[in-house]
Chain A
Amino acid sequence: MLRRRFFKWFLGTVSGIFSFQLRSQTTPLSRINTTLFSSAEAAGGCNEDGCSTSDSGLACRQRDVCAVDKSGGCRDDHCATDESGDCTGDRCTESDSSRECSADSCTEDKSGRCTDDICVTDKSGDCTGDRCTESDSSGACESDFCESDSSGECTGDYCVSDSSRACRNDSCMTDKSGECTNDVCTEDRSGDCISDQCQIDASASCERDVCASDSSGACTDDSCTEDATGSCGPDACLSDASNVCAIDRCTVDRSGVCAQVDLCIVDESGDCTVDICREDRGIGEVCSLDSPAQGVDRENLSKAIRWLYKLGSVILIVGLSYGQSMAQIAIDATDAVFHPTPAFTQGAAVKASSPPGPFLRDCDSDGILEADVNGDGLCDGDPKVADHRGNGTRELPPGTTFQGTFDFTCFHIPSDVAIITTGPLNINASREVAVFGVMMLGGRTEISSPEPLDLRSSVWLAAGGNEIILSTAAGGIVSSSGSGLGLEGRLPAINYLSACDNTVPMIRMVSPPRVTIGSKVTLKGTGLGKRKGRVFLAKREQRVLRWTQESVPMLLVDVPAPGIYNVKVKRAGRSGAVPLVMYGAVEVKAPAIDAASPNFGVPGAAITLTGTYFGSQFLPENRSVRAARIILGGKECAVKAWSWDPLSGKSQVRFRVPRNLAPGAYKLVLKNKVGRTTADFTVVSKN
């Protein structure tokens, strides 16, 4: 009895302390903004404020936006001026008189010691290794990022303006010398901008350049970012307003006809279908990482994989996690070959106006790609892509090995490209990484990018035990949907690394983006909680199938009318008081009939109905209750077969015409819990 009482008391005390601790960690009010006058008006000093004038409170810390900090303690702030003499690691923008301005973002440094900073003006005469942007009158502006160099010695710098008449091999924006050759001028008025990277070329003869704008009407084989000719052929246009953006690598396609063979980065048409778009910006559209583009990617992947099959000498079993079945694939793991476009290389030589992948480049302008197999950026002595096997396909010589560290601005493997390596591979991209194709890796592989890695529809084949490290600094998003992994029956060790704090509770992805009743949707995120919580779509609770910190698959059992809706997660326990919301996460689609085949029939005839988003035939919560019906002439039709693909929404139903229906024209109605759709149908007489 005594023991029981003690136990009860003990439990009560412990749970009380525990609940107190929990409560004290929960903030019922989370402050969002700051004011520039709160320090003067509110007690507590300038802490995490946005002081505009000064902070003498010695409490101006970390997330403040002080314009002036006299506290002597301005660290990791966004001070415009720091008079503390200790401005280190800050973002001082006006001036730093501290003589200690190092590794800061000062716009002006009067200290004479502006080193490794991002000064706009450096009057020290010693602006070396800095990013001075205004002027450097030192005569020693070398390896800097000067905007203006009046020294006449602007060589190897990133001068914006060079009046020295000696602007060569620089990154001048303006060159008035008329000698802008092999430079990276953004403007060249010389009329002789050839082989340069001019942004504007008024010479009307911008050929083989990297012009940003070519109004000559003859932009051919260039890398124009804009082509006003309306006939942007085999270029690498960034913007093509011609409505015929085909076989290009447009990054933006506003034509709405960005079709199949394009490789749009952005599709603003709101109709990102059958393309290999990275993104669909149609307002209100939610073309997420699992966009319908994946279907096409699968098709191209199949081509790539079929090609791999031809190489075969070693038969290995690879399980494709996204595929419908296990596939037998023969892969020669000893060959390191590269095949750019297995589907389009019959007969003609391989040509590309810009590198399709990171390793290929037409260095010697002979129309044949060479491979930079050691990552040195040069292609001297590098092997050529040719039909080495004599089988009509183009590849690098058998046994070619990619080995080394590759530094790329962008690392992009299209979905119809397969890469095989035999040794370690390190890729450090300074911008985006997008792998849509096949990577067969014979050694340890490390790919890093400061931006999210987009591994949509990629297939990774790595010899068992080889480690794959995919790391990103931004957002922490590594999209790996649809990846098939593994060789020799063993999965490689794959590590997703992210500099971001993956403990931050956040919904990061919901897929597929278009749903209806019965859709199986997976919500991915971080910090979702260990215990099972609740998920709502437009305030309607859905059935959670499984719950982990990073992933919540669920079944949509109750969906609202067609439209774009938020998805809300209520985590278990007290943390659920503040729900996680992803806005515009999914679009609920109404059913739509494409065709009834045939669109006439005698009573009892079997008819096939095709369309999109018919959804489940039965309620997910109760398999004995129909969620969708087909009605003809007011009579319900008997359904023989019902199928739909939750990813693409494509649906097909086979039903029978009701037997006691009189001949005549009727409206065929398919209705489910989301909406209804109709088609014309004629019942004909048996005679």
Chain B
Amino acid sequence: MRISVPNRDRIKYRLVEHHLFTHFERHILFNVKTMLFYEVTPLVRDLILRLSDHPEDHIKSRLAGRFSKREIQHALDHLEKEHFLEDATPARESNCLLKKRKGLRHLELMVTHGCNMRCLYCYGDRSDGRHGEQRLLYGSGEAGMSLETALKGIDFLFRESGRRKEVSVIFFGGEPLLEMGLLERIVPYVREKEMQTGKKADISLSTNGLLLKDGNLEFLVKNRISCQVSLDGPGEIHDRNRLLPDGSGSYERVMDGVRRLIARRGGKVPVRATIAHGRIDLPAIVEHLLSLGFGSVHAEPAIGGNSATSITPGDLDEIKKQIDTLALFLVRSVRENRFFNFTNLVRQIRQTRVVRERLAHYCGAGRTYLAMARDGGFYPCHRFVGMEEYRMGDIDTGPDWTLRNRILDLTVDNRAVCRECWARYLCGGGCWKHAVDRSGCLERPDEELSCRITRHYIECAMAINSELRVSDQDILSRLYEESTEPYLITGKGD
């Protein structure tokens, strides 16, 4: 795109890749290349819009009615200074070197595929589809992982982690606490490996909370095992989808253990809520969960799995509106020196405030993160378990890195849809499983739902950063540092 800039009629400029939007009545301009964003005046907004739409027009005369020539020139000077205007010599290829990390850091052990709940939106509802007497089968097979397979997995993690000083073991299921006996034998082995290798291992698990009994809790606390609870909000919301085998709601049954866990952990417990189709009330969910004493709340929409519970494009407007409500509430909370640890927003606020790197991938799945199924099979993450086309070898025959190499190449710059998106380096391309569920392949992200929600979170975060002044930001930084991060979300791009 080429334009003529007043006073510089002989110089041709092009507008660099950018994103201009208005959120919370603030005009924000994001430079995709430098990753810096600015709050801009109405003049700059109009200027950018015209530079985009009318490249060859004489801008000064078009805007002359409302702004003086000097003001326009002044704004153009600033746009140039901030690298929004480039000399229109042939565009250089992006020199952004995206880091493609590999080397195993996280291993998810699917210690059981059995579960004592029958959540309606469970993506594990694959092999038998029944909600009857039997435990719901997740992926393939029902029995728990053998100790031998588990210990081989631990050896594999420490071996493949290379020079990394820190690794993490995540117990997943099904409901991992159904296999307490197995956990009690794996954990000492992990600690022993720590001693042998000098590496530090974080151990964590994700539970539905039904089995947080005193004995289990004692084990978790004693062995420093982080614990994320899946809870969908107030009873009436939670019980819509998170059901017991008899079809009744599980909220009351879960709360005893949850309270005990929070009390033992001094509130440093993250919770994850799944937002399902229907009456969506994100503020009520977040407020309720924080009021229970959880250290942080992460909410993810149900995408894939049961189509009746998956959110639909029709839900998006409401979800966005509710995210805005939470954003305003967060701003108010920060100003009152309180923290509102809704991590979906907080992470984006932190990430956009100080951009550490341009993300090549959304998460470490398949690269630094692997899930090992009960039979020893490797998958990019727990969500792929049981999908043969995404199997990455197994613990006995060794890993098959074909899929990893494919994922490594699928950076945001190499995926057609992502390449055109202004948010690509902040997003990393979205969840692989969402891409597969919604578009059938890894290459094409879930544009209709995930991408739109992610972009909205990012816009919200930028607007919040713009709203929060330096003193507020200090408060936010302090509060964030004192807060609890959801453990399961690996560092973006990690």
Contact = CB atoms under 8 A, between A and B. Distances in A.
A19 interface: yes
B306 interface: no
B82 A31 contact: yes
Given A50-B354, A52-B356, A584-B328, A578 B34 contact: no
Contact of B24 (A33, A283, A581): A581
A254 B357 CA distance: 42
Contacts of B465: 32-33
Contact of B353 (A34, A213, A577): A34
B29 A35 contact: no
Interface string B468-479: 011100000000
Contact of A578 (B36, B39, B263): B39
Contacts of A30: 38-40, 466
Interface stretch (B70-78, B143-151, B396-404, B432-440): B70-78
Contacts of A500: 471
B293 to A, nearest CB: 9
B356 A577 contact: no
Contacts of A33: 35-37, 352-355, 462, 465
Contact of A32 (B39, B74, B325): B39
A29 B40 contact: yes
Interface string A638-649: 000000000000
B466 A32 contact: yes
B462 A474 contact: no
A42 B355 CA distance: 14
A566 interface: yes
Contacts of A26: 41, 74
B25 A581 contact: yes
A578 B41 contact: yes
B24 A31 contact: no
B355 A35 contact: yes
Contacts of A108: none
A27 B24 contact: no
B470 A63 contact: yes
**Of A27, A38, A63, A451, which is in contact with the most chain B CB atoms at under 10 Å from its CB?**
A27
Contacts of A35: 34-36, 354-356
A504 interface: yes
Interface residues of B, number: 52
Interface string A467-508: 000000011000000000000000000000000100010000
A29 B355 contact: no
Interface in B6-61: 24-26, 28-29, 34-44
A29 B29 contact: yes
Contacts of A27: 78
Interface in B298-329: 325-326, 328-329
Nearest to B465: A32
Contacts of B79: 28-29
A34 B83 contact: no
A23 B40 CA distance: 15
Contacts of A396: none
B356 A36 contact: yes
A7 interface: no
A32 B36 CA distance: 8
Nearest to B44: A28
Contacts of B125: none
B354 A32 contact: no
Contacts of B470: 63
A603 interface: no
Nearest to A215: B263
Interface in A516-558: none
A34 B355 CA distance: 6
B71 A23 contact: yes
A451 B38 CA distance: 31
Given A29-B40, A32-B39, A284 B283 contact: yes
Nearest to B326: A283
A105 to B, nearest CB: 11
A65 interface: yes
Nearest to B73: A23
B24 A566 contact: yes
Contacts of A63: 470
B134 interface: no
Contact of A38 (B36, B469, B471): B36
A577 B353 CA distance: 24
B467 interface: yes
B74 A23 contact: yes
Contacts of B357: 36-37
Contacts of B353: 32-34
Contacts of A475: 335
Contacts of A41: 34
Contact of A31 (B36, B287, B356): B36
A579 B25 contact: yes
A568 interface: yes
A245 to B, nearest CB: 15
Contact of B329 (A29, A38, A283): A283
B331 interface: yes
B127 interface: no
B197 interface: no
Interface in A1-60: 19-20, 23-24, 26-38, 41-42, 50, 52
A322 interface: no
Contacts of B354: 33-36, 50, 65
Contact of A28 (B24, B35, B78): B78
Given A19-B70, A283-B329, A577 B42 contact: yes
A583 B331 contact: yes
B291 interface: yes
Contacts of A268: 287, 291
Contact of B34 (A29, A38, A254, A577): A38
B26 A28 contact: no
Given A33-B37, A42-B34, A583-B328, A283 B70 contact: no
A284 B353 CA distance: 26
A504 B470 CA distance: 12
Interface string A262-275: 00000010000000
A213 B263 contact: yes
Contacts of A583: 24, 328, 331-332, 467
A581 B26 contact: yes
Contacts of B82: 29, 31
A200 to B, nearest CB: 8
A213 B26 CA distance: 45
A410 B465 CA distance: 31
Contacts of A52: 356
B290 to A, nearest CB: 10
**Of A213, A268, A281, A500, which is in contact with the most chain B CB atoms at under 10 Å from its CB?**
A281
B37 A32 contact: yes
Given A28-B44, A33-B465, A568-B25, A283 B283 contact: yes
A41 B466 CA distance: 23
A38 B78 CA distance: 17
B337 interface: yes
Given A52-B356, A283-B287, A583-B467, A29 B337 contact: no
Given A29-B29, A42-B34, A577-B43, 15 more contacts: A23-B71, A27-B78, A29-B40, A29-B41, A31-B82, A33-B355, A34-B353, A34-B355, A35-B36, A37-B35, A37-B358, A38-B34, A41-B34, A578-B39, A583-B331
Interface of B: 24-26, 28-29, 34-44, 70-71, 74-75, 78-79, 82-83, 263, 283-284, 287, 291, 325-326, 328-329, 331-332, 335-337, 352-358, 462, 465-467, 469-471
Interface of A: 19-20, 23-24, 26-38, 41-42, 50, 52, 63, 65, 213, 254, 268, 279, 281, 283-284, 451, 474-475, 500, 504, 566, 568, 577-579, 581, 583-584
5 cross-chain pairs, A with B, having the tightest CB-CB distances, nearest first: A50-B354, A29-B38, A35-B355, A28-B75, A283-B283
13 contacts: A23-B74, A28-B75, A32-B37, A32-B353, A35-B35, A36-B356, A38-B36, A41-B34, A254-B291, A268-B291, A566-B24, A568-B25, A583-B332
